[in-house]
């Protein structure tokens, strides 16, 4: 009974795989994770129905009177297996036919990687369909041969092979699926438990040979999201970057100077404005932008009223953001073939004038920002105009055909052309040594271990030092109160005066400070990470980045007071 339930599960998986590809090819804007939940529910219902039906069907027997083979024939012919097989073979035929249709009619719009994916999918489905169709046909013929005498005993070896194929079908399926790059990478990750190099996460761009900060965006996050998302991302680097800049640019342009005069309330965090951005209306185009000739993509602006107020607090003219984000002013960013990633695979897009940046965040970070932090963050910035917390200027979700939905925040850039060197300081030393690329001049980020090795301390007038330390203390106390850890203090060093910079007492240097990466809630996942590192490092866990907010706050302030300033 459980064996037939397992067979049902395998066929359900392949049926939903075919169905998911059909849906994706029809409308790639439908979120794949929503579909995944429905697939799990349907599979659970079908497997439960299989078990329930078989239990009811066998309830008339006081003991097992059927041999295993006979039982399987009975279940195949009178149970749920034929129904599940019928659903699978129907979706398989439609999936193969529709994939061939797309290859023949839309071939000139599909990149080589996508063609290879669809071709392998067709082969995979044909092989699996042959195995199951041949097995099902043999069971049907063998069962009916008892009445029709059309299947003599000399052909029993065919039934034996069919049973063997059923038993190893999962293994065959695993081999076939691992032909695809995304599944192979995922399998290696599960086996080796190594951190993946970002092969297909190609939305980041270079910033004068410098760095990318941290996030938890992973290459395998959208394994179920879109069957074609992995193989499309590599060739969509410039295209996706263009859509990000274009979508945010168009959203700000629609808003114009319409700042709100009404007070901010907590209910404003629920507001979401959706905009359709049509490719045909885009003034700047790239040849690779053609998502199966889909006419538009969607950009969702979260909490627009609160972010309008935040930009107003900064006296930031929205025209400057519009100009900086315009694709025409970011051609090097769009066409860059070089990519850089932070230690945890974060993705940043910097405008070419370095005035603004777009950070790709996780859905959990988006929800944490909206539901728990944003309103309090606004109140903190309103009361502390000299706060070093990096300003958040917008929160967006972008839905582009062929890619999983992307959540992102916009903020001012801290590192401009005048910066000669900058540090990213957390107060920890475990794995806090910079990784320098092999190309160009490296500005940073230099990290805590580099800072200690360089014997670097920042000298400011005593009164200014106390003010800076007081600003930092207020900010990190606010972060601690909201359960946040793993934030960093960015210190930019330049030879000329810049906005919000402080002159060194003894050197011809100017320092600029900013606190970044403050969306790291001390969640269950972070707690589990801390426990695992405790068993791994023992007492040295005190110098790891992951730590409860109170201890992180204490260590951070101690490091700032004792090691950063003279």
**Which of 21-35, 281-295, 324-338 shows the highest mean pLDDT?**
324-338
pLDDT at 396: 95
| SS3 per-residue string spanning 318-371 | HHHHHHHHCHHHCHHHHHCCCCCCCCCCCEEEECCCCCEEEEEECHHHHHHHHH
The dihedral over CA atoms of 410, 414, 418, 424, expressed in degrees to the nearest 10, equals -140
506, 465 in Cβ contact below 8 A? no
Q: What is the pLDDT of residue 514?
A: 94
Tally of CB atoms within 10 A around 21: 24
Helix 374-383 crosses helix 462-481 at what angle (to 10 degrees)? 160
Strongest mean pLDDT among 114-128, 139-153, 199-213, 406-420: 406-420
Quote the radius of gyration of the chain (alpha carbons, Å). Answer: 29
Which CATH number does the domain 200-220+228-413 belong to among 3.30.800.10, 3.40.718.10, 3.40.140.10, 3.40.50.2000?
A: 3.30.800.10
Tell me how far apart the alpha carbons of residues 551 and 545 are, in angstroms, rounded to a whole number.
Answer: 11
How far is the C-alpha of 566 from the C-alpha of 560, rounded, in Å? 10
pLDDT at 206: 28
**Distance between CA atoms of residues 80 and 88, nearest Å:** 12
What's the mean pLDDT in 371-377? Answer: 93
Residue ranges of the domains in the chain?
2-179, 200-220+228-413, 417-566
Higher pLDDT among residues 52 and 164, named by residue: 52
Q: With cut-offs at 50, 70 and 90, classify the pLDDT of residue 132.
A: confident
Q: Is the pLDDT of residue 532 over 60?
A: yes
Q: How many CA atoms lie within 13 A of 424 on its CB side?
A: 25
Q: Which residue has the higher pLDDT, 22 or 214?
A: 22
Query: Is the predicted pLDDT of residue 342 greater than 50, yes or no?
Result: no
Nearest to 129 by CA among 189, 175, 88: 88
What does the pLDDT read at residue 195? 39
Query: Higher-confidence residue: 12 or 190?
Result: 12
- What's 48's DSSP letter? H
The mean predicted confidence, pLDDT, of the chain is: 75
Q: For residue 425, report the phi and psi dihedrals to the nearest 5 degrees.
A: -115, 130
Q: Looking at the predicted structure, is the pLDDT value of residue 211 above 60?
A: no
pLDDT for res 62: 60
3-state secondary structure 175-240: HHHCCCHHHHHHHHHHHHCCCCCCCCCCCCCCCCCCCCCCCCCCCCCCCCCCCCHHHHHHHHHHHH
Distances (CA, A) of 435 to 431, 446, 449: 10, 8, 11
Exposed, middle or buried: residue 193 (CB in 10 Å: 0-12, 13-18, 19+)?
exposed
Helices (H), 482-539: 524-537
Residue 546 has pLDDT above 60, yes or no: yes
Q: What is residue 246's predicted lDDT score, i.e. its pLDDT?
A: 86
Interhelix angle 81-105/2-26, rounded to 10 degrees, is 20
Whether residue 38 contacts residue 15, with contact meaning beta carbons closer than 8 Å, is answered with no
Range name among 72-76, 273-277, 445-449 with the lowest pLDDT average: 72-76
| pLDDT confidence tier of residue 106, bands split at 50, 70 and 90 | low
Q: How confident is the model at residue 30 (pLDDT cuts 50, 70, 90)?
A: low
Tell me the fold of 417-566.
Answer: 3.30.810
As a whole number, mean pLDDT of residues 364-384 equals: 93
Neighbours of 400 (CB within 10 A): 27
- CA pair distance 7, 47, nearest whole angstrom: 9
Q: For residue 411, how many C-alpha atoms fall within 13 Å in the half-sphere facing its CB?
A: 19
Average of pLDDT values for 384-402? 89
Instruction: Specify the range with the lowest mean pLDDT, choosing from 137-151, 288-302, 334-348, 404-418.
Output: 334-348
DSSP string over 75-105: HHHHSSHHHHHHHHHHHHHHHHHHHHHHHHH
- CB-based contact 346:215 (threshold 8 Å): yes
Instruction: Please report the pLDDT score of residue 284 as a whole number.
Output: 62
Q: What is the mean pLDDT of residues 165-191?
A: 62
pTM of the predicted model as reported, rounded to 2 decimal places: 0.63
According to the model, what pLDDT value does residue 477 have? 96
Confidence (pLDDT) at 337: 40
Supply the pLDDT for residue 169.
67
Q: Using an 8 Å Cβ cutoff, are 511 and 491 in contact?
A: yes
- Higher per-residue confidence, 407 vs 347: 407
Among candidates 486, 492, 393, which has minimal Cα distance to 432? 486
Given a cut of 80, whether residue 42 has pLDDT beyond it is yes
Please give the backbone phi and psi of residue 351, each rounded to the nearest 5 degrees, phi first: -70, 155
Q: In what order do the strands lie in the sheet with 356-361?
A: 272-278, 296-302, 394-399, 406-412, 356-361, 347-350
For the ranges 96-110, 203-217, 251-265, 451-465, the maximum mean pLDDT occurs at: 451-465
**Which of 46-55, 227-236, 414-423 is predicted with the least confidence, judged by mean pLDDT?**
227-236
State the average pLDDT over residues 299-306: 91
């Amino acid at each position: 009974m459980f064996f037939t339930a397992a067979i049902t599960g395998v066929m359900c998986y392949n049926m939903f795989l075919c169905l998911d590809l059909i849906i994706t090819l029809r409308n790639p804007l439908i979120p794949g994770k929503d579909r995944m939940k429905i697939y799990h529910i349907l599979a659970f219902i079908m497997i439960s129905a299989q078990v329930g039906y078989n239990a009811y069907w066998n309830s008339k027997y006081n003991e097992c009177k059927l041999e295993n083979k006979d039982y399987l024939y009975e279940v195949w012919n009178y149970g749920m297996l034929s129904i599940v097989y019928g659903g699978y073979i129907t979706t398989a035929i439609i999936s193969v036919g529709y994939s061939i249709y797309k290859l023949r009619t839309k071939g000139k719009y599909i990149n080589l990687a996508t063609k290879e994916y669809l071709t392998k999918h067709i082969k995979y489905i044909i092989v699996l369909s042959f195995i199951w169709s041949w097995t099902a046909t043999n069971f049907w013929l063998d069962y009916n041969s008892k009445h029709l005498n059309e299947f003599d005993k000399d052909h029993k070896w065919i039934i034996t092979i069919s049973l063997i194929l059923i038993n190893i079908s999962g293994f065959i399926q695993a081999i076939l699926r691992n032909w695809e790059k995304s599944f192979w990478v995922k399998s290696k990750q599960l086996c080796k438990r190594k951190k993946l190099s970002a092969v297909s996460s190609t939305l980041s761009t270079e910033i004068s040979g410098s760095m990318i900060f941290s996030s938890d965006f992973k290459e395998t996050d959208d394994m179920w999201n879109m069957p074609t998302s992995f193989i499309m991302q590599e060739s969509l680097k410039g295209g996706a970057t263009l859509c990000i800049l274009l979508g945010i640019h168009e959203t700000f342009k629609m808003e114009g100077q319409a700042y709100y005069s009404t007070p901010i309330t907590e209910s404003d965090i629920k507001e979401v404005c959706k905009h359709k951005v049509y490719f045909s209306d885009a003034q700047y185009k790239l040849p690779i932008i053609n998502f199966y000739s889909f006419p538009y993509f969607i950009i969702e602006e979260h909490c627009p009223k609160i972010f309008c107020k935040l930009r107003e607090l900064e006296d930031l003219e929205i025209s400057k953001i519009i100009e900086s984000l315009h694709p025409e002013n970011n051609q090097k960013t769009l066409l860059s073939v070089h990519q850089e990633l932070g230690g945890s695979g974060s993705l940043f897009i910097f405008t070419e004038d370095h005035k603004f940046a777009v950070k790709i965040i996780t859905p959990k970070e988006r929800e944490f920002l909206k539901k728990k932090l944003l309103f309090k963050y606004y109140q903190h910035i309103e009361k502390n105009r000299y706060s070093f917390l990096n300003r958040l200027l917008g929160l967006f979700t972008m839905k582009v055909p062929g890619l999983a939905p992307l959540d992102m925040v916009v903020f001012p850039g801290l590192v401009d052309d005048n910066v000669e060197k900058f540090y990213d300081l957390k107060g920890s030393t475990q794995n806090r040594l910079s990784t320098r690329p092999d190309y160009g001049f490296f500005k940073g980020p230099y990290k805590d271990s580099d800072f200690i090795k360089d014997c670097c301390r920042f000298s400011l007038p005593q009164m200014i030092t106390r003010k800076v330390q007081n600003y930092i203390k207020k900010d990190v106390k606010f972060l601690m109160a909201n359960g946040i850890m793993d934030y960093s203090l960015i210190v930019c060093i330049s030879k000329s005066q810049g906005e919000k910079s402080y002159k060194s007492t003894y050197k011809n240097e100017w320092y600029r400070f900013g606190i970044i990466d403050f969306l790291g809630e001390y969640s269950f996942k972070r707690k589990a990470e801390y426990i695992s590192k405790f068993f791994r490092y023992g007492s040295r866990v005190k110098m790891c980045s992951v730590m409860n907010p109170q201890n992180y706050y204490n260590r951070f302030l101690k490091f700032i007071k004792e090691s950063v300033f003279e």
